[in-house]
Chains A and B, each alone.
Chain A
Amino acid sequence: MMSNLFQPAKLVPVLLLLALAVVPPLAMATGDDFLVAFFARALIYAIAASALNIALGFGGLVSLGHALFMGIGMYSVSLPVFYGVSSGWIHLIFCVVVCALVGGVTGLVSLRTAGIAFIMITLAFAQMGYFVIVSLKQYGGDDGMSIGLASNFFGLRLDSTQTIFYVAWGLVVVLSYWLARLRNAPFGMTLRGGRQNARRVASIGLALRQYQLTAYVLSAVLCGVAGMLLANLNAYASPSSMAWTVSGELIVMVVLGGMGSAFGPVLGAMAFLGVEEVLKAYTEYWMAIFGLAIFAVPLLGKKGMMGWLEQLQWRARPVAGKASEALETKEVAR
């Protein structure tokens, strides 16, 4: 389990990130703009899925309402721009503050429940946010609003697909690395312990709910940042990006990639959007097939794509003693 860079589970993520880094120059060379936009979008959803992973994958909090925070992020750009404010820093502060507040309050209320109720309540709060935005007719309501200016971070303008691509890419790299560390840090361990056995966490002296709320707020803020990038990419903010189905899609990405792993959400986002594109090219009624595919995801097991990569790792390991022998003959635990 200790780092060995040449195991698939470690190697594939690094290779994938390196490969992604060269997509824009390659695309420029071949004149294929579509790929840059596609991967920029995929990287943005990778950030959102990684954010959700903190609450869902580590903490086991099934939030069906994270699209709300992406929406807040989007409108954190469109509303200031509507009033002529294009400073990216103001957009960011707006996004962080509002996401933290909304995440804090909804998290506080939602965490008073568990199980089915928690899922429903997060869904309900997201829907509330959706309806509030839709009812604000002066800000576009149902149709959304176009964004005339790009977020400007002291000269770095998010006005080209390429720029947004690299900002998103950078964030994915940093976020993935941080999540890998967070996973084994006391905070991550507490959350993961809580997912496995909440009562046990209490009996070792940790107030689990505080950690869960923190995780929820953290994931809300990061999801909001993804929303900011998406708004700049589309130059548009629309309530349809806050629809509850988006929350569902984020959950699929996290589970598909491998819940609770550091890089899983990135793989999940790539795979999800990739399959979507392929199916779209294949048939007009791709959503039906896609729906059935999502229906089948629970059958894949929670370890997802990262789990498959790790399976390859076990088999390649040399026998080092009784312990690893026992591990090798056993199937990787669910």
Chain B
Amino acid sequence: MNSLLQTTDIIKRYGALLVTDAVSLDIREGELHAIIGPNGAGKTTLINQLSGELPSDSGQIRFGGADVTALDIHARARLGLVRSYQITSVFDEFTVRENVALAALGARRHAFRFWGGLLSDTQAVVTAEEGMAATGLSARADLLASELGYGERRQLELAMALAARPRFLLLDEPMAGMSVQESAAVVALLKSLKGRYTILLVEHDMNAVFALADRISVLVYGRIVMTGTPDEIQGNEEIRAIYLGEEEII
């Protein structure tokens, strides 16, 4: 299987603090790769560098064979590297349908159209309907995003990411703050996406991680200490120690 997203020794410092310590990742096309690690390990900083929000101090990021290190967020999104946020980030004043349709449009075309409505763009609307259906939001399509419950807003995040027809999904704690049923729904959704999309999942919910991941990387103090299959990770003494508290965690 070929590598879709590759990082080579990326480093990020905040002053004297080394937050990302020569991280080299190799995410294969079609796999669902999870990143786990204790709080403060630098997972969000790493995701921010992958999505383009944060420039790395050094190192390279290659996506689909091309060097994207210098590209900013929207350019990477256009190439198919799409991210969803840990803290829900949607357009509160738009309806669910408008949110998803705009996401569908932005990834493929430009928005320099000044007359015809966004919702009269059939391609965008069809893609939006699919995204809403996949995340179970079809019934809520005409509600304002601000009127959705917390779990539904997370689903909207996902729907927007899917509507962008990404090659690569960067999911930053999609199940954060969700109830058991909501998490189960998301797990089911991600299971259905496996194989069709390449997914990099950052999550704390271990049940979800072990149910979904093809491979898992463990991030501690900004360093990848181990990458392996769920069985390999579960069986590893060192990793168990990190999570069961024998290691000093911030």
Q: Which residues of B contact A211 (CB under 8 A)?
A: 111-112
Q: Which residues of A contact B51 (CB under 8 A)?
A: 203
Q: Counting CB contacts under 8 A, is B106 at the interface?
A: yes
- Select B90's contact among A184, A197, A333, beta carbons within 8 Å: A197
Q: Which residue of A lies closest to B112 (CB)?
A: A187
A192 CA / B102 CA spacing, docked (Å):
11
Q: Counting CB contacts under 8 A, is A189 at the interface?
A: yes
Whether A205 touches B72, Cβ cut-off 8 Å, given contacts A182-B115, A197-B91, is no
Q: How far is the CB of A197 from chain B (nearest CB, A)?
A: 6
Q: How would residues 97 to 114 of chain A score, 1 for a CB under 8 Å from any chain B CB and 0 otherwise?
A: 000000000000000000
Q: Which residue of B lies closest to A189 (CB)?
A: B118
Q: Are A203 and B118 in contact (CB under 8 A)?
A: no
Whether A186 touches B111, Cβ cut-off 8 Å, given contacts A206-B106, A330-B147, is yes
Q: Are B121 and A186 in contact (CB under 8 A)?
A: yes
Q: How would residues 269 to 304 of chain A score, 1 for a CB under 8 Å from any chain B CB and 0 otherwise?
A: 000000000000000000000000000000000000
Q: Counting CB contacts under 8 A, is A207 at the interface?
A: yes
Q: Counting CB contacts under 8 A, is A323 at the interface?
A: yes
Q: Which residue of A lies closest to B108 (CB)?
A: A205
Q: Which residues of B contact A326 (CB under 8 A)?
A: 143, 147
Q: Are A192 and B90 in contact (CB under 8 A)?
A: no
- Select A182's contact among B93, B102, B110, B114, beta carbons within 8 Å: B114
Q: Are A185 and B91 in contact (CB under 8 A)?
A: no
- Select B118's contact among A186, A199, A202, A330, beta carbons within 8 Å: A186
Q: Counting CB contacts under 8 A, is B205 at the interface?
A: no
Whether A199 touches B116, Cβ cut-off 8 Å, given contacts A189-B102, A204-B106, A330-B147, is no
Q: How far is the CB of B106 from chain A (nearest CB, A)?
A: 4
Q: Counting CB contacts under 8 A, is B158 at the interface?
A: no
Q: Counting CB contacts under 8 A, is A122 at the interface?
A: no
- Select A190's contact among B53, B111, B119, beta carbons within 8 Å: B111
Q: Which residue of A lies closest to B101 (CB)?
A: A189
Q: Are B112 and A214 in contact (CB under 8 A)?
A: yes
Q: Are B72 and A202 in contact (CB under 8 A)?
A: yes
Number of interface residues of B (CB under 8 A): 43
Q: Which residue of A lies closest to B80 (CB)?
A: A205
Q: Which residue of B lies closest to A193 (CB)?
A: B91
For window 5-53 of B, CB contacts with A under 8 Å fall at 51, 53
Q: Counting CB contacts under 8 A, is B232 at the interface?
A: no
A182 CA / B117 CA spacing, docked (Å):
8
- In terms of DSSP, what is the predominant structure of the interface of chain A? helix
- Select A204's contact among B72, B103, B118, B144, beta carbons within 8 Å: B103
For window 154-205 of A, CB contacts with B under 8 Å fall at 178, 181-182, 184-190, 192-193, 196-197, 199-205
Q: Are A202 and B73 in contact (CB under 8 A)?
A: yes
Q: Are A197 and B118 in contact (CB under 8 A)?
A: no
Q: How would residues 118 to 132 of chain A score, 1 for a CB under 8 Å from any chain B CB and 0 otherwise?
A: 000000000000000
Q: Which residue of B lies closest to A204 (CB)?
A: B106
Q: Are B111 and A200 in contact (CB under 8 A)?
A: no
Q: Which residues of A contact B116 (CB under 8 A)?
A: 181, 185
A122 CA / B113 CA spacing, docked (Å):
27
Q: Are A200 and B77 in contact (CB under 8 A)?
A: no
A214 CA / B142 CA spacing, docked (Å):
30
Q: Are A193 and B113 in contact (CB under 8 A)?
A: no
Q: Which residues of B contact A181 (CB under 8 A)?
A: 114-117
A326 CA / B146 CA spacing, docked (Å):
12
- Select B74's contact among A188, A193, A205, A333, beta carbons within 8 Å: A205
Q: Which residues of B contact A189 (CB under 8 A)?
A: 94, 98, 102, 111, 118
Q: Are A333 and B146 in contact (CB under 8 A)?
A: yes
- Select A185's contact among B73, B118, B160, beta carbons within 8 Å: B118
Task: With A323-B140, A323-B143 given, name 9 new contacts (CB 8 A).
Answer: A185-B117, A186-B102, A192-B94, A196-B91, A196-B92, A203-B82, A204-B103, A206-B106, A206-B111
- 8 A-B residue pairs with CB within 8 Å: A181-B117, A184-B118, A185-B118, A186-B102, A186-B110, A199-B73, A202-B74, A214-B112
Binding site for A on B (CB under 8 A): 51, 53, 72-75, 77-78, 82-83, 85, 89-94, 98, 102-103, 105-108, 110-119, 121, 140, 142-144, 146-147, 160, 164
The 5 closest A-B pairs by CB, nearest first: A186-B111, A204-B106, A205-B77, A202-B73, A205-B106
Binding site for B on A (CB under 8 A): 178, 181-182, 184-190, 192-193, 196-197, 199-208, 211, 214, 323, 326-327, 330, 333
